[in-house]
Each structure stands twice: as structure tokens, then as C-alpha cells.
Amino acid sequence: MATIDASSIGEKTQAVINTFNRYVVPNYKRFPVCLVRGQGSRVWDAEGAEYLDLFPGWGCNLLGHCPEPIVRAVQEQVAKLIHVPNTWYTEPQGEWAKALSERSFGGQAFFCNSGTEANEAAIKLVRLRTDGKRYKIITFKGGFHGRTMGSVSATAQPKYHEGLGPMVAGFQYAPHGDLEAVEKLIDDHTGGILVEPILGEGGVVPAPEGFLQGLRRIADERDLLLVFDEVQCGCGRTGKWFGYQHFGVTPDVMTLAKSLCAGVAGGAMLTTVELARHLRPGMHAATFGGNPLAAAAGVAALEMIENENLLGHVDTAAAIFRERLEALKDRCDAVADVRVIGMMIGVELTIDGSAVVQACLEKNLLVNCTQGRVIRLLPAMNISAADVHEGCDKLSDAIIEVASRG
Ligand SMILES: *Cc1c(COP(=O)(O)O)cnc(C)c1O
């Protein structure tokens, strides 16, 4: 069983916790569980307990834990070339950029290592296009764009700004979905609009009907760059390669990370050939960006999704989640809303979500809570139907249990 109360923490786990307490900066709230091994949608802790993971790698482990084709690609690459600087050409980086371009809007890629870095590149591109004259970027309340100073300034949630001021200048926040507010904010210094097509951290909320289309129209009319942050919703998770493909609206710039390399660290900013030239040599860089290991993993992830028809499988697995969670909503007042966009799932509750996460952990089920009351699942694209059912059984029990405590 999962150990959750301090008196029952196993010896091995306690030793690791002691090391952390002494040597690791305490900037994360951690469960008292030490994970040591994973396979598919299963993960094991240092005491030997097994968990069903519906939130593998915080959305990074798109294909589950240790997917065989990714492991093999990285193993082969790591023995050939681990890293060389971007002053040289490498085969994997070119192949990776081509593969991403062909599955999106035909542009070019800048590679980095994380989501926040990808957004920093997008912010710089917006500013560089007009030599800094139009430096302002409109973003949305409830959005999340990362933790470096530019990206956190772009993030319109006060809790992420606390104690960090002053923020980077030039970001203006509009209510999510409000096109009129966007139009009102635009002035001669506005250069771009940055938005998640599906809010992730904000509670798994797809753009309302017509919103992205409206942003596209405004961007075209006012000569602004439309930037989509697909760090969480991109790369196949939703059943299409990219979130924007659900809405029929193409961005000028798109940022990717999290699941981009199926668990290996990697990020990218994609933009059109025309715009890419504004990132001139010397204007931006990431030392590890596009390194051969990340590139090999990134290419292998795209190939695995195609070889195993996982975009199609996502629709099948999503249908089961939707049916099971809708049924739960019908019989349980604690469930206010169910949002399933492929393997991006939000279960909005009327009760405290963290208590439900804790109850799930006691049932050896790993889930996440965001915005206080939204249980967020980002399951692996290749999750089995049996695991979906088991996960829904346990999550339903946990919600009903916590709700009945009153
Ligand atoms: C997680 C996330 C980021 C930040 O990514 P990091 O890799 O943690 O820097 C940015 N945007 C969105 C939408 C995210 O979900």
C-alpha cells in the first residue's frame, strides 16, 4: 500500500527523504513516496508498491514510462554522440525539425530544453520582428507560460508573481475568451497575442467557440503575431498532433515542450520561414537546445505514435474516460463538470481536490489537482482500456469517499 502518513513511511523512502531535507532546495511540495521504476502506465516505489499513473511525468511521459522505442533510440544515440554545440550541424536535429514541420504548419524550429524557454524564444521573436518597437504581448487570465521572468510575467495569475516583482514590462492580461477586451488593449506598441489553445494548468479548459478564430482575425487585421503555447496540449496528446488542429486556426508561432521528447527534456518554438529570419545569429541561443539525445527521442516519439496508431487510440481511450466520468457526474453531486480532450482530462469538483488526490494515492492511483478543484489527468497516449477502467473505478471511489466526509 502507498504510505502516506509519516508513521508508516518505509525505511528506504525515509532515507531518501532525509537526504532531500538536508541537500535539496525545498521548492516543491512532495508526496512521501520515492519512485524508482516505471513501465507504461505503471510505476513502482522504493518499498515495492505499484501505482497506476494517470499523470505520468506531469504530462511529459506522453507514451508512458520507459517506452521501448524511445529507450532504444536514446541508447543508440548516447553511444554515438551525446552533445555538440550548435556551431555544428548534426543529423538528428535536422531530422527532428523536418518531422515537426511536416506535421504542423511547414515552418522552422528553434530548439531549447523546456516550455518556459520555448516561450522566451517566442517573446523575443515578437519583439525582434519590430526591433522592439512593438514589444507588448496580450495574454490571458488563467493561462500558464512558465517560471522564468519573461514567461512568468506573461502568466496572468497573481499567485505566480508573489514576491517576485517587478515583472518584465509589456504584458497585458485579458479575460480568457474575451475578444472585445483584447481589441481594447491593443495600441501602437502591441506586437503579439500569446494563448494556450487549451488551458492546462488553468483547469483543462478548451478555447471557447470562436475565440481562437477571433484572435486570428484580430492578429491579421492589426498585424500581430499569434502565438500558441502548446507546451501541454501539443504533440498528439489530444488525438491530433497539435491542439490548434482541433480549431482550424493556424498560429504564427507555436511553443512545445513537456511531451515533445516523451519524457526526455526538450523544447521547441516553431514559426514560419518568413518570421524565423528575425531570430538572427547571435540574438538567441540555448546551449543544450536540439542536442542529439533530445532529437533522437523526439523523432522516435513521432514515429512510435504513427507506427502504433496512437492518435486513433487516444480517441478510443478518451471515449471510455468520457463515458465513465460522465456517468460519475450523473450520480455524484461533487462532480460539477467533465472535460475530456483526448488524453487531457479535467474533472471539476465542488469539493477540495487535494483531498481526492490523497484518497487516490491511498488506492495507489496517481492523479493531479489544479486550480484547487479540478482533478487533472494527462494519461499516456498508449494507456490500455483496462487501465482506463481501473483508473476510473478508483477515482470514482475516491471522489465519492471524500464527498461523503462532507
Ligand atoms: C508546463 C508548461 C509551461 C512551462 O514548461 P516548463 O518545461 O516547466 O518550463 C509552459 N506553458 C504551458 C502551457 C505549460 O503547461
Measured in Å, residue 383 CA sits from the centre of ligand 1 at 23
Q: Please list, in sequence order, all residues whose beta carbon lies within 8 angstroms of the beta carbon of residue 122, skipping any fewer than 6 positions away.
A: 192, 194, 227, 229, 253, 255, 269, 271
Domain assignment of residue 348, yes or no: no
Span 194-223, average pLDDT: 98
Domain assignment of residue 55, yes or no: no
Q: What CATH number is associated with residue 239?
A: 3.40.640.10
Domain assignment of residue 368, yes or no: no
Least confident of 4-18, 229-243, 306-320, 382-396: 4-18
C-alpha cell at 249: 486556426
Instruction: Give residue-wise pLDDT tens across range 158-185.
Output: 999 999 999 999 999 999 999 999 999 9
Residues 398 and 249 in one domain: no
Q: Which DSSP symbol is given to 264? A: B
Closest atom, ligand 1, to C-alpha of 148: 9
C-alpha cell at 115: 516550455
Return the sign of the alpha-carbon dihedral for residues 152, 241, 125, 194: negative
Measured in Å, residue 115 CA sits from the centre of ligand 1 at 4
CA atoms within 13 A on the CB side of 175: 7
Residues 185 and 276 in one domain: yes
Domain assignment of residue 204, yes or no: yes
Distance from the first to the final alpha carbon of the chain: 25
Q: What is the pLDDT of residue 217?
A: 98
* Pocket test residue of 112, 144, 195 for ligand 1, highest count of atoms within 8 A of CB: 144
Residues 98 and 232 in one domain: yes
Residues 291 and 321 in one domain: no
Residues 174 and 199 in one domain: yes
Percent of the chain with pLDDT over 70: 98
Span 197-216, average pLDDT: 98
Q: What is the pLDDT of residue 280?
A: 92
Q: What is the pLDDT of residue 3?
A: 45
- The four Cα atoms 345, 348, 354, 360 give a dihedral, to 10 degrees, of -50
Q: What is the pLDDT of residue 5?
A: 59
Measured in Å, residue 378 CA sits from the centre of ligand 1 at 14
Domain assignment of residue 188, yes or no: yes
Q: What is the pLDDT of residue 213?
A: 98
Residue nearest to atom 15 of ligand 1 (CA): 232
pLDDT of 406 above 90: no
pLDDT of 352 above 50: yes
- At 233, is the secondary structure helix, strand, or coil? coil
Measured in Å, residue 90 CA sits from the centre of ligand 1 at 27
Closest atom, ligand 1, to C-alpha of 116: 9
Residue nearest to atom 6 of ligand 1 (CA): 115
Closest atom, ligand 1, to C-alpha of 117: 9
Residues 262 and 325 in one domain: no
Measured in Å, residue 352 CA sits from the centre of ligand 1 at 24
Q: Measured between alpha carbons, how far is 41 from 69 in angstroms, rounded to an integer?
A: 16
Q: Which domain holds residue 190?
A: 68-307
- DSSP structure string for 82-104: S---TTS--HHHHHHHHHHHHHT
Measured in Å, residue 92 CA sits from the centre of ligand 1 at 24
- The tally of domains found in the chain comes to 3
Closest atom, ligand 1, to C-alpha of 229: 13
Residue nearest to atom 5 of ligand 1 (CA): 115
Least confident of 6-10, 322-326, 374-378, 386-390: 6-10
H helices of 89-210, where? 91-103, 115-129, 149-154, 179-185
CA dist list (Å): 274 to 106, 109, 252: 11, 12, 10
Domain assignment of residue 7, yes or no: yes
Q: What is the pLDDT of residue 6?
A: 56
Q: What is the pLDDT of residue 2?
A: 45
Contact, 96 vs 300, CB < 8 A? no
* Pocket test residue of 61, 258, 259, 344 for ligand 1, highest count of atoms within 8 A of CB: 258
With residue 112 as reference, give the H or E element that holds it. strand 108-112
| Pocket of ligand 1, beta carbon within 6 A | 114-116, 144-146, 196, 200-201, 229, 231-232, 257-258
Q: What is the pLDDT of residue 1?
A: 41
Q: What is the pLDDT of residue 278?
A: 97
Q: What is the pLDDT of residue 8?
A: 83
Q: Left if phi > 0, otherwise alpha if psi is -120 to 50, otherwise beta: which for 143?
A: beta
* Pocket test residue of 151, 232, 341 for ligand 1, highest count of atoms within 8 A of CB: 232
Measured in Å, residue 55 CA sits from the centre of ligand 1 at 15
* Pocket test residue of 195, 231, 253, 288 for ligand 1, highest count of atoms within 8 A of CB: 231
Closest atom, ligand 1, to C-alpha of 119: 10
Q: Please list, in sequence order, all residues whose beta carbon lies within 8 angstroms of the beta carbon of residue 48, skipping any fewer than 6 positions away.
A: none
Q: What angle do CA 342, 304, 267 make, to 5 degrees?
A: 75
pLDDT of 387 above 50: yes
Measured in Å, residue 242 CA sits from the centre of ligand 1 at 15
Q: What is the pLDDT of residue 4?
A: 56
Q: Measured between alpha carbons, how far is 74 from 298 in angstroms, rounded to an integer?
A: 10
Domain assignment of residue 373, yes or no: no
Q: Find, among 336, 339, 335, the residue nearest to 322 by Cα.
A: 339
Domain assignment of residue 385, yes or no: yes
Residues 331 and 297 in one domain: no
Q: Measured between alpha carbons, how far is 182 from 193 in angstroms, rounded to an integer?
A: 9
Residues 194 and 108 in one domain: yes
Q: In what order do the strands lie in the sheet with 35-39?
A: 35-39, 42-45, 50-53, 365-366
Span 373-402, average pLDDT: 98
Q: What is the pLDDT of residue 281?
A: 93
Q: Find, among 21, 27, 23, 24, the residue nearest to 9 by Cα.
A: 21
* Pocket test residue of 60, 113, 145, 148 for ligand 1, highest count of atoms within 8 A of CB: 145
Domain boundary among 288, 307, 326: 307
Q: Find, among 361, 363, 331, 329, the residue nearest to 345 by Cα.
A: 329
Measured in Å, residue 152 CA sits from the centre of ligand 1 at 10
